[in-house]
Every structure is written in structure tokens, then in C-alpha cells.
Amino acid sequence: MGWVSLIACLPTAPAAPTLAALAPTLLPPTASPPTITPTAIPTNTLTPTTTPVPSHTPTATATPTPACNTPGRIETGYYPSQIDGPQRAFRIYLPPCYGQDGRVYPVLYLLHGNGQDETKWDSVGIDEAADSGVFSHSLPPVIIVMPAGGWAMYHTSGGPWSFEAVIVDSLVPYIDAAYCAWRVPAGRAIGGISRGGYWALEIAFRHPTHFASAGGHSAALLDIAAGPDLNPQYTGLTHGLGALRVYLDAGANDLGVLPNLERLHEDMVNAGIPHEWHLNEGGHDDAYWASQSANYLAWYAAPWPQDRQQYPPCAQAPANPH
């Protein structure tokens, strides 16, 4: 089977859907919105002046910036959480030559699925894909945060005192303070696979001004306890998503999550809400996610500048919490 990629375009003033028309079918969606380009940080251009010397006029020679040949690294850290604590674990990918240029990095939060842990994204090759993109100059260096799930991920559906609050109120502020993170919405994205895909959409749809992009990869929109104020099948239509970029995808053989996810995609198309939808070959497994990891990274990184000089200086020395 081939794969289908569709970009839905935003019409003017879409009509707000009624709850009766939005009854969830219990499965996932996808699509593509407009690219957000973060505001470039202006840099001063220095005009060199040459001091004449009687015997000759020296010629200025540009000093090339040394290429970074050091691979990125993955470390383990812990952050405090009142909801699911006292501490929660996370893995973090720090890009090649992290911290050496004294500037901040965009941050991508990636959530794992049900029955998985914080090593899942590493196991499907997200770090290798990131390194490859940096060394080939097809991706900017990014920080990737992969938190452990825990009780709140599996036993809450959203809102205060849920996994949503763990991420928004505990993890993001911790990463902003401890690392050279670009601490603005334009420099932050969130995505997840399976149950993590549910949470990525739930969080971003309820906090669309906190993130530039959100991805539901094989998102399991199956939480029957999630009401219209939490369920992404509703909030994706009834909450104003503004400039939030949205990506939805699934394997054509992923029959468990495909109906609801495809329903969300179709409802967003009918409501004129921009998003990307990708139906690919594959199922609900590591082979599928590994085959898509590079595509995911390319999409998340698309709005972020390649030129490191466009990023603000890092406010603190890079931390290395262990």
C-alpha cells in the first residue's frame, strides 16, 4: 500500500461544530498547518577597518567557524512533580556540541505510549535521526526531552492534577531553567506516539499558545473518560488553535486507532482547521515509528532557523543534572 499525505487549508471563519456532531468514534487524526517562522534575533554586522602600514596594506582573513564533529548525547535527569512525584525521570537528547556557542536551542517534547517508558523514542532511533540531520545540515540542533509516563499518564484524562499539568506546570519550567532552552512558544513543540499522542494533542489543544507545533503519531484517541473539554476529538475543533501547527499520522494497518484519528482529520478538514494528515504503510509498532522518525523531526524543525546566530544567548551555563 502506498501512503497518502494531505495538507488541509484554513478557510475564513469556520463554523463552530456542535457536540452532537462531534461524537468521537474512538480513534486518531492528522494534517498540516502553516509554517511558523520564529522571529530572527538581529545581529550587528561589524565593518572591519584596516589601519594602513607604510610597507603594505594587510588583507583581512576570515576565520572559519570550526565544524562540530561531536555527536549528540542522551542523559537521564529528574524533575520534581507535586502530582506524580516527588520526582519523575526523563531522558534528554543534547545535540552535537551542545552549549559551545552559548546560544539557546529549540526544544521538542516527545511522549511515549501505554506500557512503554522514557527509552521508547531512543529505541526507535530519534537520536540517530537528529544527529544525522545536524551533520547533513538538514536540521538545526534541537534538544529532545523524553519524559517517563507514570500514574498520571495512565489514570488521568487531562486538566488540573493530570499528566497535562505534570508536563505544562512541572516539566517544561524545569527544562527551561536547567538547560539552554529557547523559552518561548515559537521554540517549543510536543508530540507523542499512541497514548503519548493522545496527551500531546490534549495538552497542545488546551494550551495552543504554549507550543509552535503538536504531533499525534498513531495517537490513541480512545479515552472514554475524557469529556468534550479534554478529548482532542472535541477540543481540536472547539478550541481556537490559532497558529498551532498540527501533524496527524498512522499506519494503514493500525486498525485500533485509525478510525478515531481519521475522524478527527476529517472533522478538522470540514471545519477548515489547518493540519497535516499522513496515512502510511505500517501498523502500531516500533517498525512503523522508526520508519517515520526522520520525517517527524523534519516537520517539527521546519519553522526553526538553521543559523545559530539567530537564537538568543543562553542565560545560564548549561546544566548537567545527575
Q: Give the residue extent of every domain in the chain.
A: 69-310
Give me the residue label for grid cell 503519548.
196
CA distance 162 to 151: 9
d(CA 190, CA 204): 7
φ/ψ of 191, rounded to 5, equals -155, 170
Least confident residue range of 27-31, 102-106, 151-155, 292-296: 27-31
d(CA 143, CA 106) in angstroms, rounded, equals: 6
Amino acid type, 308: R
**Dihedral sign computed on CA atoms, order 92, 96, 297, 312:** positive
Closest Cα partner for 41 from 316, 304, 318?
304
Average pLDDT of span 34-60: 39
pLDDT at 115: 93
C-alpha cell at 301: 524543525
Asked whether residue 44 carries a pLDDT value surpassing 90, the answer given is no
Using a cut of 0.85, tell me whether the model's pTM lies above it. no
Nearby residues of 168 by Cβ (< 8 Å), 6 or more positions away = 203, 207, 210
Mean pLDDT score, 189-209? 98
Written as one letter, the residue type at 139 is L
The b-or-e profile of 257-272 (16+ CB within 10 A means b, else e) is: bbbbbbbbbebbbebe
Helix (H) or strand (E) holding 297: helix 286-301
- If phi > 0 it is left, if psi is from -120 to 50 it is alpha, else beta; for residue 77 that is beta
Least confident stretch, 56-60, 75-79, 104-108: 56-60
The answer to whether 164 and 190 are in contact (CB under 8 A) is no
Q: What is the mean pLDDT of the chain?
A: 84
Report whether 217 contacts 198 (CB < 8 A). Answer: no
When pLDDT is cut at 50, 70 and 90, the band that residue 315 belongs to is confident
Look up residue 149 and give its amino acid: G
pLDDT for 160-195, tens place per residue?
A: 999 999 999 999 999 999 999 999 999 999 999 999
The class that CATH gives domain 69-310 is: alpha beta
Contact 252, 288 (CB under 8 A): no
pLDDT of residue 277 exceeding 70, the answer is: yes
Higher local confidence (pLDDT), 322 or 182: 182
Left, alpha or beta for 185 (phi > 0: left; psi -120 to 50: alpha)?
alpha
Q: Is 227 exposed, middle or buried (0-12, 13-18, 19+ CB in 10 A)?
A: middle
Find the helix packing angle between 126-135 and 286-301, rounded to 10°: 40
Q: What is the mean pLDDT of residues 42-67?
A: 40
Q: What is the pLDDT of residue 60?
A: 38
